[in-house]
Amino acid sequence: MSTYLFTSESVTEGHPDKVCDQISDAILDAYITKDRNARVACEVAVTTDLVVIMGEISANCEIDLEKVVRDTIRKIGYDKDEYGFNANTCEIMVRLGKQSPDIAMGVDNAVETKESTEKEIGAGDQGMMFGYANDETEEYMPLAITLAHKIAKRLADVRNEGIIKYIRPDGKAQVTVEYENDIPKRIDTIVVSSQHEPNIPIEQIKEDIIREVVNYVIPKNMIDENTKYLINPTGSFVLGGPAGDTGLTGRKIIVDTYGGYARHGGGAFSGKDPTKVDRSAAYMARHVAKSIVASGYAKKCEVQIAYAIGKANPVSIYVDTFGTGKISNEELIKKIKHTFDLKPRSIIDKLNLRRPIYSKTSVYGHFGKIEDSLTWEKVEKM
C-alpha cells in the first residue's frame, strides 16, 4: 500500500495578488465588452493606498479605467481607511502603451497564412501550456485544491453575509489530503488564516471559523480524530491586504490552476485577451484533458500544448495518463488531433472566448467551476 500526503492552497478575493488579478480581468472585460477584438495585456500592482496599471492595450474604444478599478476594489470589500487600502481614496497610476507592432504582425497573420488562402492568427508568444483532469471529484479536479477553493470562498461568504462580522477581506486556506494507492482517504491538515478586526480573541476566531467555514465545506467522512486544524497560526492577522503586502497580477498561478498537482507552463492568465495562448491554450488543454477523463480513457490525464510566436499550429502535443490510460498515450494524441483543432483562432471560436467572462475566473480558480459561460469546462465525447 502506498500512502502519501498532498497539499494545495487557495486565497480569498482580498489577498493582494488576487486583488490585482481581479482588477486586470475587470479591465479586460470592460474592453472586450466594447471591442471584442481588443488586444489586452494588463498587469496591476498594489500597495498601501496605491494602484498601478501597466501593460499594452490596443482597442477601438475608451473605458473609464478609474471607475473599473474603484468598483472592483469596492466589491472586494476594501472601502475603509482603517484597512490601509480604500477604493474611494486610493491613488491610481496608469502606465499603458499599445501592443508591439512586431507581436501584432505575427498574431494578425500567422506564418501558415502565407501558404494558404485561409487566414489564421498566430500564437501571441512562444511557450507551453498544460491542462489536467482526474476523477477524484465531480469537477474532475484534484481534491486538495477543490477543498481549498471552497474554504477560501466560504471565508468571503461569511464576511459578506455578516455571519462572522469581524472578518476582513484578506485570507488563505490550505488543505492536506492523505492518499492510499492514489485514492483520497482523509483530510490530514486544514490551515486557515483570516484577516480580522483588532482585539478579537484567537479562541473565538478558531471556534467561529471551524464551525462556520471548515465544517460547512469539508465532507464529514473525510475528517477523523487525527485531522489537525491550524487556524490563524500566528495568533493575529489584523494588518492585511495591499497595506500588509504588495500585490501583483499573475503571482498566484498555482492557485489559479491545479494546486501543484499538475505541471504549469509558467504563463499567468489574468489581464490577457484570448489571442494570448498562455490563457486560451491552457483553457483548451484543460478542456481536452477533462474530455479524455470524462470519456473513460483514463482516470487522470495531463495534456501539454506548445506554440511558437506567429505560428498557428502547435509545435508539439504531449499526453500523460500516469499509467491509468485504457489506450496508449500515442493513440490518445491521435484522437486529440482528430477531435480538436488547436490553432489559436479555432480555440477562440470553439470556446467562444471573445466575451466579457474573465472576471469570473480571476479568483477561486480558473478550472473546476460549473458555469455555462466557462466553456472549457464542458465535456466533449471523444
- What is the tens place of the pLDDT at every residue in 163-198? 999 999 999 999 999 999 999 999 999 999 999 999
The Cα 254–Cα 172 span in angstroms is 14
Supply the pLDDT for residue 98. 83
Q: 466553456: which residue's cell?
A: 375
Q: Across residues 337-359, what is the average pLDDT?
A: 96
Res 52 pLDDT > 80: yes
User: Residue 204, Cβ neighbours under 10 Å: how many?
Assistant: 12
Higher pLDDT, 116 or 241: 241
Distances (CA, A) of 244 to 16, 170, 223, 247, 254: 8, 10, 33, 10, 22
Q: What angle do CA 330, 334, 340 make, to 5 degrees?
A: 135
Supply the pLDDT for residue 123. 86
Q: Could you read off the pLDDT of 118-172 as tens digits, one per residue?
A: 567 888 789 999 999 999 999 999 999 999 999 999 999 999 999 999 999 999 9
Are 374 and 367 in contact, with CB atoms under 8 Å apart?
Answer: no
The full DSSP string for 65-118 is HHHHHHHHHHHHT-EEGGGTEETTT-EEEEEEE---HHHHHHHHS-GGGGGSSS
Q: For the sheet containing 50-58, what is the strand order?
A: 91-97, 50-58, 39-47, 247-248
Supply the pLDDT for residue 289. 98
Q: What is the dihedral of CA 16, 18, 21, 27, to 10 degrees?
A: -80
Q: Could you read off the pLDDT of 324-344 as tens digits, one per residue?
A: 999 999 999 999 999 999 999
Residues in the chain: 382
What letter does residue 212 receive in the DSSP assignment?
A: I
- CB-based contacts of 115, cutoff 8 Å, min separation 6: none
Supply the pLDDT for residue 101. 63
pLDDT band at 114 (very low <50, low <70, confident <90, very high): low
Q: Across residues 81-89, what is the average pLDDT?
A: 95
Per-chain mean pLDDT for the chain: 94
pLDDT band at 113 (very low <50, low <70, confident <90, very high): low
Q: Could you read off the pLDDT of 250-300 as tens digits, one per residue?
A: 999 999 999 999 999 999 999 999 999 999 999 999 999 999 999 999 999
Closest CA to 17 of 252, 278, 361: 252
HSE (CB half, 13 Å, CA atoms) of 276? 18
**pTM summary value:** 0.94
The Cα 21–Cα 270 span in angstroms is 5
The full DSSP string for 164-201 is STTEEEEEEEEEEEEEETTEEEEEEEEEEEEEE-TT--
The Cα 304–Cα 265 span in angstroms is 9
Element (H, E) at 351: helix 344-351
Q: Could you read off the pLDDT of 53-78 as tens digits, one per residue?
A: 999 999 999 999 999 999 999 999 99
- CB-based contacts of 325, cutoff 8 Å, min separation 6: 297, 298, 301, 332
Q: Across residues 40-62, what is the average pLDDT?
A: 96
| Cβ-count burial 24-40 (b if 16+ within 10 Å, e if not) | bbbbbbbbbeebeebbb
The Cα 145–Cα 142 span in angstroms is 6
pLDDT band at 102 (very low <50, low <70, confident <90, very high): low
Q: Across residues 308-328, what is the average pLDDT?
A: 95
